Structure 1
Amino acid sequence: MPFHVDVHSALDQICILFEPAALTAFTGESYHDLLESDHVFDIFGRNSHYLLEEIFDEEDFSTRVEKLEHILLENLKVSEPEKLKEALALITTGGEDLSVETLAKKLGISPPTLFRLFKNHVGLNPKSYIKTNRFRNILNEILQKRQTLTSAAHANLYYDQAHFIKDFKVFSGYSPKQLLNKISIEQNNLAWIYGNNNHC
């Protein structure tokens, strides 16, 4: 679903937020091949520079969105494997500290098969995705002011403060308190973080 972000400087980029594993359904390519591509639109079989010019030539935001949506829909190729859908659902709603072995057992597949599914369709191994999902849950809870840092950490099964701070720094480059001080814009589940004239 498109949403609007106010940016007070020149910007010539398009940002598309895909659900986990969704991008490969449009490209038919593994994440390894996608990461090797300089221009992801080229994978759609069209010149990326021409596509971007065509979109930015439209002054109306809604028309830009419609053109981009049309490009994506005409390239929709495959759906996610069922086992991957089950895995993502278990990780998202499980409410427990899942290990890769436990997750594979719940799905009735081997850990190596689970690893290949995630690497090919998500771009991360299962363990990294589980940790990333936990970090995003904590960040969303804090941003939406539903919980304090300590409560959010405990709710997401962090019982060691040092471990919590370490993981936070790995994903964001900042401690929890430093990160919150740098967040200047929040919209839905997206946070734009500014510092030293950079943004991410």
Structure 2
Amino acid sequence: MKLTYFDVTKTSHLIEEFFLIDYQKKDVPLEAIIPPLNFSGLAYFYSKGQRISLAKEVTDLHKLSVYGQFSKSYKFNLYKEGIVCGMNFKATSLHKLTNIDASSITNKYKCFHKINQVITSELENIFLKGKDEYHQVFDKLEDYILTLPLTENKNTLIIDELVKKIHLKEGMISVNEILEDLPFGQKTLETNFKKTVGLTPSKYIRIHRFKKLMKEYEGKKIDLKDLIYMYDYYDESHFAKDFKSFTSKSLKDYFKDEFLLIKEIFRNTKYDYLH
């Protein structure tokens, strides 16, 4: 498996990163656990052979799919080699670009044509015409995205600022601290945040802290015990509880093969998610 990231040059206010994953014959079959990563996005699957499952719901991935935020882990299965390329959005971009309630596709992959057939047609045309020239694909995607109208209002501006604050604090912030600077209460915050981002603010904060810690661990190999205290967990059992919540596995399971894909993602991510 080869994971490659591409520069975002014109749409950094909407797109976190462009990516290309090349699954080869030697990777098949593959079964992996994917924890929540605080991303929604779009991906084009050039061939069949990939599937996700969450609880009893199974989704085969093919052509253009949109994925929402995930609050829990899901299982990924690869049973045929192939290429996937796509984009991970900034926290509020799915809502801004589609004007949908982001929580309506939380914990889901969905065929994008069910959301917007016109945009689907344009995007699929870009993906198919540019196959094997992925720098050009992402350049054309940026040009097209810049032509789309955005849903922006007072609420999206407030949520953008809150997300920025969460990232700057690396997830080490409470909902009560966030509420101190807001003109409304917790119930309104949760309703607006969930509609715009797809998760409650408390869940988003917890996932962001967890992801930052795991990225730090995979990137620099700092002792896990040190990181647990650096990221304001009370103790190892507190972190183990979050690990179980977000991966459905125990901490000792992280060193098994089913986490190889997510380790690759943590090691190779080129952004620090602070911007």
Shorter-chain TM-score above 0.5: yes
Aligned partner of residue 159 in structure 1, secondary structure: coil
- Could you say which structure has the higher strand fraction? 2
Conserved 8 A contact 1:31-1:123? yes
> C-alpha offsets along residues 138-184 of structure 1, whole Å, 9 cap, x if unaligned?
11111111521111111111122112112112212333443255335
- Could you say which structure has the higher helix fraction? 1
Partner of residue 38 from structure 1, selected from 98, 110, 116 = 110
Distance 1:189 1:160, change over 3 A: farther
Conserved 8 A contact 1:30-1:120? yes
Match of 2:90 in 1: 19
Match of 1:196 in 2: none
Which residue type is aligned with residue 183 of structure 1? L
Conserved 8 A contact 1:165-1:175? yes
Aligned partner of residue 110 in structure 2, secondary structure: coil
Distance 1:131 1:65, change over 3 A: same
Deviation, structure 1 residue 95: 5.9
Distance 2:200 2:193 in 1: 5
> C-alpha offsets along residues 72-96 of structure 1, whole Å, 9 cap, x if unaligned?
2222413472221221122122367
Distance 1:167 1:56, change over 3 A: same
Aligned partner of residue 78 in structure 1, secondary structure: coil
Which residue type is aligned with residue 163 of structure 1? H
Deviation, structure 1 residue 54: 5.0
Conserved 8 A contact 1:172-1:179? no
Partner of residue 161 from structure 1, selected from 208, 228, 236 = 236
Conserved 8 A contact 1:142-1:148? yes
Runs of 4+ in 1 over 6 A off after TM superposition: none
Which residue type is aligned with residue 134 of structure 1? R
Q: What TM-score do you get using the length of structure 1 for normalisation?
A: 0.78
Structure 1 unaligned blocks of 5 or more: 191-200
Backbone CA RMSD of aligned residues: 2.9
Distance 2:215 2:109 in 1: 31
Conserved 8 A contact 1:34-1:40? no
> C-alpha offsets along residues 43-95 of structure 1, whole Å, 9 cap, x if unaligned?
34427477436522433112222333334222241347222122112212236
Match of 1:8 in 2: 24
Conserved 8 A contact 1:58-1:64? yes
Structure 2 unaligned blocks of 5 or more: 1-7, 9-17, 26-80
Aligned residues: 190
